[in-house]
Structure 1
Amino acid sequence: MSAAPRELEQRAQDARSRLADDVDLWVATSGAAGPHLVPLSHLWDGSRILVSTARSTVTARNLVLDGRVRLALGQTRDVVVVDGTAELVKPADLEPAAGDAFAAATGFDPRRLAQPYVYFWVRPWRIQAWREENEIGGRDVMRDGGWLA
């Protein structure tokens, strides 16, 4: 038996907590070769999500060509899905505080690697959160970049 559905306010708070507390997420992009899905570490700054990947990856190429991205966090019975737009940030242009916060949160500092890495700030425009079928209706907790609760 499923638990009672959470109210919108609780789902929005749970989504913010997952964004802040989880280290890794799934990044889905699309390009000439079709859809691409990879796990990456991330940092949530309260309004944007910072991810990093090697400059030569399919993910980086796709995001540079088409900044649309879908992110997923959590388990299948407690999921947060983020649709957003990614903006390329070269390591030299990343605010030092953001780079330090990313390294502290993820245990991984791309600025220290020999292989060239890039960062992407993802600005969410839609976030959905649900656990069970009874939360599918009304699963949007953010629309058009604004929290609904």
Structure 2
Amino acid sequence: MSAPKIHKTNAMRKLDDLDIPYDIFSYDNEDGQIHGSAVAEKVGLNPETVYKTLVAHAGNNGFVFVIPVAHELDMKKAARAANEKKIEMLPLKELQKWTGYVRGGCSPIGMKKPFPTFIEETAQTLEQIAVSAGKIGLQVRLDPQALAQATDARFAPLIKD
């Protein structure tokens, strides 16, 4: 019996357009557990290699931060990376309007509008990391440098010590 067909998301289509190789991991989310550590467990990956996408803003300027699921974003480090005095997390009700994605399915790849994107610098030490594929229940795993290429991202220290 073959695996169920996975419909391509915007994130996957963008990776395909850039000829960036990636692996797809799917998981069932019937229990509503969409937090990162649960996702890592469901797809059978080390939580240190599964990253979450956080969207913040300074006024009308949006910023994307990609950090390991088991860590917390350090807002001062994030503001420093974004070259802003202060940033705030984007209210959840604004997420889809700004990015085209919903909570738990927000990918740094293929947002409806490109935002300055920053990836936790420790990702550079890993061969591959997983991020949301743009839909709840789907993750893509790829080289962190390829993710930076696909999102025009910079690596920076972003997590709380």
Judge same fold: TM > 0.5, yes or no.
no
Q: TM-score, normalised by structure 2?
A: 0.30
Q: TM-score, normalised by structure 1?
A: 0.32
Q: Which has the higher strand share?
A: 1
Q: Quick check: which has more Rg, 1 or 2?
A: 1
